[in-house]
Amino acid sequence: MPTCDVCGNDYDKAFTVTQGAHSGTFDSFECAIHAMAPRCAHCQCRIVGHGVEHGDAIYCCAHCAKASGVQGVADRA
């Protein structure tokens, strides 16, 4: 059985996620998010949705982007 790269669980329904050149095998979306989702440049939480990008940084929301000095962003644009 495939083994999850994060928790080590042997699981017959494990799946592989590929992002660019990086791939991983996971037993749950929780483990895939933990391993592959980017972190907010302000609060460090994992970004599960689209996020807000500015330059090379990605933020979980407009609030965090604004707190980092980004102007002209809104969560409900």
- For residues 65 and 72, the answer to whether their CB atoms sit within 8 Å is no
Q: To which residue do tokens 């000095």 refer? A: 69
pTM of the model: 0.82
pLDDT in tens, 5-42: 999 999 999 999 999 999 999 999 999 999 999 999 99
pLDDT in tens, 34-74: 999 999 999 999 999 999 999 999 999 999 999 999 999 98
SS3 sequence of 19-65: ECCEEEEECCHHHHHHHHCCECCCCCCECCCCCEEECCEEECCHHHH
The alpha-carbon radius of gyration of the chain (Å, integer) is 16
For the chain, the structural domain boundaries read 1-36, 38-77
